Amino acid sequence: MENSDCILEGRQVLEISEIMGILPHRYPFLLIDRIVEIERKKRIVAIKNVTINEPFFQGHFPGYPIMPGALVVEAIAQAGGVLLMPEVPDRHKKLMVFTGIERAKFRRPVVPGDQLRIEITVLNWKPRVAKMEGRATVDGKLACEATVMCALVPRTDQEPERTAGEPVTKAENGLVGSE
């Protein structure tokens, strides 16, 4: 799956604007701020600066703010997306969605002021599916580790027409294959 115009070619650092050019996520759900290491198709290291301004801290938990573990795992998946999406020739027509999470373990809380270092290693990658191992550390100490699986699905650029009260399908919510 070679892609000669890969935007990661020869790069080691990506700033937020370049990350936003790869991922469809936006505030408040874009959970990585910078890429500091890249080994195409194999490994990536991302940084997430955790601040008290994150909207989830308002309710998780008042007086004792902790970044939800599910969002730490999401940051792991997003870093993997930055690594692999540039390798997809028709990436602007695709989304990379979760299909599974294995062996997620949370070792310490992530709190405002922490800087997450997210390291991803590709375990298996085929044209439409990937399996990656992720570790998130703070000051060299393990905060979270998980193996994430994802799949490429077609991206639709327009919202489907629906009548008032009609539910959004699982596929429209990006939950394909997550049962």
Catalytic site positions: 60
DSSP character string of 106-161: E-S---TT-EEEEEEEEEEE-SSEEEEEEEEEETTEEEEEEEEEEEEEEPPSSPPP
Both structure tokens of 66? 């902790």
Integer angstrom CA distances of residue 35 from 13, 90, 97, 106, 120: 5, 22, 20, 23, 11
